[in-house]
Each structure stands twice: as structure tokens, then as C-alpha cells.
């Protein structure tokens, strides 16, 4: 289990990505991550778990265990899965309040954004928001 803080995990990803000096390498790494992402249970692949706002389908669920929130997700597109994998890597297994406070600025720092289309970037924002919504629910506050 990952015991690092969110910030440390973000730094780790930034470091991983710094190894690639062209977008191709970054994409290849994302694809690799995407392929490895443990897939979500089929029963969650329906509308109620779908993240709206992506061109590919994304299903995402979260469960609380011992006060920590654990995410599972899947997508029908591999690059999307790779991106989700990063997000889960950073956020999963943290306290809801920490998740809510995460600024997720590694997304800018990995230098992928200039090669992620705004369309994907929007999808990414949609995913982050969706993940934070779970955190909000479990932190006992209301979604308005």
C-alpha cells in the first residue's frame, strides 16, 4: 500500500515523466499504465458510474475502508485509462479531506498538458471533479 502523501506521490509522477523528453515517450508510458490499470468490476460499467464530459467512456467508483477512500476505474480508451491511472495513483488510499484539498498541479508539471488536447484536459478535469465529489460525500459535507 502506498503510504506516501499526495504531494509526494505527485512529485514521484513528475519525476517519472521527466525521464521522457518527447511526447511520444510520455504517451507510451501512459499507454503502459493504461494497460496495467486493474479493471473495475463489470457491474459498475453503467450510466450511474459514468463520468460525463469525456469522448471515451469512463466509469469510476470509490469505496471507504478504514477512513481512506479507494478508487477503481475503467475506460474503453487506453490513453484515458493511463490518465485515470495517474489520478488513482495520486488520490487513492487517502483521507477524503486530503483528497478534497489536493491541488493536482502535477498535471501541469508533467508537461503533458501541451500535448493533451483541451478536450482530454476537460475530460481530465471532469474526472478530478468526479473523484472529489466522492471525497466530498464521505467527508460528510453536502454537494450543492
Partner 1 sequence: MEAPVKNTELIDTAKLREEFPILRQKLNGKPLVYFDNAATSQKPLSVINAVTEYYETINSNVHRGIHTLSEKATEAYENSREKARSFVNAESTNEIVFVKGTTDGINLIASSFGNMTVGEGDEVIISEMEHHSNMVPWQNLCRQKNAELKYIPVNDDGELMMDEFRSMINEKTKLISVVYISNTLGTVNPVKEIIEIAHSHNIPVVIDAAQAAPHLKLDVKDLDCDFMAFSGHKMYGPTGIGILYGKEKHLEAMPPYQFGGEMIKSVSFDKTEFNILPYKFEAGTPNISGAIVQGAAVDFIEKLGHENIHNSEMKLLEHANNLFEEIGGIRIIGTAKNKTSVISFIVEGVHPYDTGSILDNLGIAVRTGFHCTQPLIEQRYKLPGTVRASFAVYNTTGEIDLLADGLKKIKKMFL
Whole-angstrom Cα distance, residue 102 to residue 115? 23
Q: Which span sits near partner 1 by CB under 8 A: 1-9, 49-57, 63-71, 93-101?
A: 49-57
Question: CA 25 to CA 115: how far, in whole Å?
Answer: 12
Is 79 labeled as catalytic in the residue annotation? no
Site for partner 1 (CB under 8 A): how many residues?
A: 18
Q: Which of 13, 51, 54, 112 is catalytic?
A: 54
Q: How far is the CB of 87 from partner 1 (least distance, A)?
A: 17
Kindly tell me which residue out of 24, 101, 105, 141 binds partner 1, with binding defined by CB under 8 A: 24
Residue 131 to residue 35: CA distance in whole angstroms: 21
Distance (Å, whole) CA 91 – CA 84: 10
Helix (H) or strand (E) holding 69: strand 68-75
Residues 61-100 that bind partner 1 (CB under 8 A): 76-80
Strands (E), 3-144: 58-65, 68-75
CA distance 42 to 29: 26
Q: Is 56 in the site for partner 1 (CB under 8 A)?
A: yes
Q: How far is the CB of 30 from partner 1 (least distance, A)?
A: 10
* Footprint of partner 1 on 113-142 (CB under 8 A): 115, 117-120
Work out how close the CB of 115 gets to partner 1 at its nearest, in angstroms, rounded to a whole number: 6
- Distance in Å, CB of 58 to partner 1, minimum: 11
Q: Which residues bind partner 1 (CB under 8 A)?
A: 23-24, 27-28, 31, 55-57, 76-80, 115, 117-120
* Residue positions annotated with a catalytic role: 54
Amino acid at each position: 500500500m502506498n503510504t506516501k502523501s499526495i504531494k509526494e506521490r505527485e512529485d514521484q509522477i513528475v519525476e517519472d515523466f521527466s525521464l521522457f523528453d518527447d511526447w511520444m515517450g510520455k504517451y507510451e508510458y501512459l499507454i503502459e499504465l493504461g494497460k496495467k490499470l486493474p479493471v473495475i468490476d463489470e457491474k459498475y460499467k453503467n450510466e450511474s458510474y459514468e463520468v460525463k464530459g469525456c469522448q471515451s467512456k469512463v466509469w469510476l467508483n470509490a469505496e471507504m475502508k478504514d477512513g481512506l477512500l479507494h478508487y477503481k476505474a475503467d475506460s474503453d480508451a487506453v490513453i484515458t485509462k493511463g490518465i485515470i491511472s495517474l489520478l488513482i495513483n495520486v488520490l487513492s488510499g487517502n483521507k477524503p479531506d486530503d483528497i478534497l484539498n489536493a491541488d493536482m498541479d502535477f498535471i501541469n508539471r508533467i508537461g503533458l498538458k501541451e500535448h493533451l488536447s483541451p478536450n482530454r484536459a476537460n475530460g481530465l478535469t471532469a474526472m478530478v471533479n468526479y473523484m472529489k465529489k466522492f471525497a466530498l460525500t464521505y467527508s460528510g459535507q453536502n454537494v450543492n
